[in-house]
Amino acid sequence: MGRARRLPLWIPALAAAMAALPFMAGSFTISLVNEIGMAALVVMGLVLLSGIGGVTSFGHAAFVGIAAYTTAWVNTELGLSPWIGLVLALAMTAGSALVIGALTLRLGGHYLPLSTIAWGLSVPLLFGNMTMLGRHSGISDIDPIALGGFDLMRPEFVFYLVWVLVAVTALFCHNLLNARMGRLIRAVRGGKILLASVGADIFRVRLALFVFSALTAAVAGWLYAHANRFVSPAPFSLHASIDYMFMMVVGGLGQLAGALAGATIVIAMKSALQDVLPLVTQHAAQIQSVVFASLFILLLHHARGGFMALAERFMQAGPAHGKAIEFPVEPLARRAMPERGTLLLSVENAVKRFKGLVAVNDVSFDVKAGEILAVIGPNGAGKSTMFNLLTGALDLSSGHVEFMGRDVTAMGQRQIALMGMARTFQHVKLRPQMNVLENVALGAHARGNCGYLRGGLNLDGDEERQIMAEAALQISRIGLAGQEHELAGNIPLGTQRLIEIGRALAADPVLMILDEPAAGLRKPEKQALAELLLKLRESGVTIMIVEHDMDFIMKLADRLVVMNFGHKLFEGRPEAARADQHVRAAYLGNAA
């Protein structure tokens, strides 16, 4: 079997039905279906951006508008062909999205969606007030798209263009989601720390996603301008943006097919209401918007999963992401490990203050290549804070950290991760909606090169196979072979910690930083984990570990650093720690 899974049966059936449609339906229906296709283009981008990437946009109609106005203007004012208009419209929209995104995508929480309202409202206001764009009367007499010397004037001809573009976009998005960058896109929701820990920058992912979704909107805008041959501000208003969001929610937030379903349901319903309402009332137009808004609210109340959630309940098949693993493949290139016993990491007078609280106070220690160093201490001793300082997740208040001979004190998490420091988290950070294989494959992200374009065009086959084989290898190392395709969210918490170790291993780390890896594991599992860690040490990986299980630690660690109240109490061999008075006092109280 190839890397793409077998096509679900409904896709070729739908394609055949669509191809035959212009021969069976009237012009009005075809126009309506064209409208659905253009909306689906916008909603697909929105599904990727908001439904999957978690960046809610209340302004996407503005991008449709920017593209439509661009192509309309260059066509009517400069007399350029619609195909040049397409290029310019894409460029203009991408540029606008880049500027808007660069300004707003770092905003946290609800501030980001609020900012989208601001530009979603302002852009159509600009259209309506610019003399060169015809103010509120818009631009008319736009040329139809010409293809091979003949004009696509009639909706039947535009139909094929619209739907070929829809199909191409859908295929591209589908491929992308299953590729290396797609895994990042699906991992964006949930925060930047995990992404930084595998060497990816969440801001860049979001920005790329934002621009991509603006581009699908731009294609729709270009089609709209040349199919209707007229543009005005109204179809790009905030109201229209909310309509696109409605379509997305109706279809089912996180899924591409939902974009098509949502656009179809909403536009068909709108058209049906336009037919029916005038029969019952003379206020049809007003009632229509009231009915729509009410339906949207009911949907939010009762069926936030949308149409695809319903459909899945019948088909019982969840979205199976990820491609089949094939052996044998050329393994991914490995890093050269530093020579055993050389200085790998040195911490000098590290201090971390949280306002008044000093969580880490003047701690210094060294880590040698190839050893297992355990950091222990009672709750609140500052162990996890220490790990966050080393990995760059927190900034030091003062002091220095050197890793592999480079000063990493001021470096971000991402750069440190790229240097070969991989970590697990005390509070497990997996992506529950992704399967075990993909979660582990995230770890290998920085070992691949294929970007959005190669992913979307399905040209990343070799590298994807390598990454998947690597992930599968690490999964079998942590003893979870056979569970590759389970959703990470369905795995028990203790085992989730193992998956984090697998993810860290997939990064081919020089130094692994494990925060309480054995918590929640049963005895035989701990045994297996200890064996795995010893094997890793043999292969040259250096390990730092925070753990509360003393049996586990004493058998495993070469050296210990004991912390209490932010101070370093002790550094040395495990046996010596056992005998140390200060360590005993910290653990058992002074009376002991």
Partner 1 sequence: MSLDIALILSVDGLAAAAIYLLAGLGLVLVFSVTRVIFVPFGDIAVFSALTLAFLEAGRTPPTIALVAILAGLTTAKECWQLIRQRNLSRLPRILLAWGALPLIPCIPAVLAAGRDLPPAVAVAISLGLVLPIVPLLARLVYQPIADASVLVLLIASLVLHFLLSGLGLLFFGPEGFRTQPLLRGGINLAPGLFVSLQVVLMIATALLLALLFFLAFEKTLTGKALRATAINRTGARLVGIRPSMTATLTFGATSLLAGVVGILIAPATTMYYDSGLIIGLKAFVAAIIGGLGSYPLTALGAVAVGLVESFASFWNGAMKDVIVFSLLIPALLVRSHYSSHSDDGAEEEV
Contacts with partner 1 by CB under 8 A lie at 50-51, 54, 56, 58, 103-104, 106-111, 113-115, 117-119, 121-122, 125-126, 129, 188-193, 238-239, 242, 245-246, 249, 253, 283, 286-287, 289-290, 292-294, 296-297, 300-301, 304, 427
Considering beta carbons, is residue 432 or 540 the nearer one to partner 1? 432
- How, if at all, do strands 406-407 and 139-140 pair? unpaired
Amino acid at 134: G
Maximum alpha-carbon separation in the chain = 95
Q: Which two tokens stand for residue 179?
A: 């590729």
Considering beta carbons, is residue 126 or 311 the nearer one to partner 1? 126
Considering beta carbons, is residue 210 or 365 the nearer one to partner 1? 210
Distance of closest approach, residue 123 Cβ to partner 1, in angstroms: 9
State the Cα–Cα distance between residues 33 and 31, nearest whole angstrom.
Answer: 5
Considering beta carbons, is residue 68 or 188 the nearer one to partner 1? 188
DSSP label at residue 581: H
588 burial type by CB count under 10 A (0-12 exposed, 13-18 middle, 19+ buried): exposed
Considering beta carbons, is residue 239 or 368 the nearer one to partner 1? 239
Considering beta carbons, is residue 31 or 197 the nearer one to partner 1? 197
**CB count in 10 Å sphere of residue 136:** 11
State the Cα–Cα distance between residues 450 and 176, nearest whole angstrom.
Answer: 11
What sign does the CA torsion over 343, 349, 353, 358 have?
positive
Distance of closest approach, residue 136 Cβ to partner 1, in angstroms: 10
State the Cα–Cα distance between residues 392 and 385, nearest whole angstrom.
Answer: 10
State the residue for tokens 């990986």: 541
Q: Which two tokens stand for residue 497?
A: 């910690």
Distance of closest approach, residue 9 Cβ to partner 1, in angstroms: 30
Distance of closest approach, residue 310 Cβ to partner 1, in angstroms: 17
Using alpha carbons only, what angle is made at residue 472 by residues 531 and 201, rounded to the nearest 5 degrees? 100
Considering beta carbons, is residue 57 or 474 the nearer one to partner 1? 57
Terminal-to-terminal C-alpha distance of the chain? 66
Give CA separation, 316 vs 305, 309, 319, 437, in Å.
15, 10, 10, 21
Q: Which two tokens stand for residue 81?
A: 């062909």
List phi, psi (to 5°) of 42: -65, -45
- Specify whether the CB–CB gap between 361 and 351 falls below 8 A: yes
Considering beta carbons, is residue 167 or 287 the nearer one to partner 1? 287
Distance of closest approach, residue 130 Cβ to partner 1, in angstroms: 9
Distance of closest approach, residue 344 Cβ to partner 1, in angstroms: 27
**Within 13 Å and on the Cβ side, how many CA atoms surround 67?**
32
Considering beta carbons, is residue 186 or 537 the nearer one to partner 1? 186
What sign does the CA torsion over 172, 174, 180, 183 have?
positive
Q: Which residues pair with 400 in a beta bridge?
A: 348
Distance of closest approach, residue 294 Cβ to partner 1, in angstroms: 6
- How, if at all, do strands 372-376 and 343-354 pair? unpaired
Distance of closest approach, residue 546 Cβ to partner 1, in angstroms: 19
Distance of closest approach, residue 197 Cβ to partner 1, in angstroms: 11
Distance of closest approach, residue 245 Cβ to partner 1, in angstroms: 7
Considering beta carbons, is residue 199 or 370 the nearer one to partner 1? 199
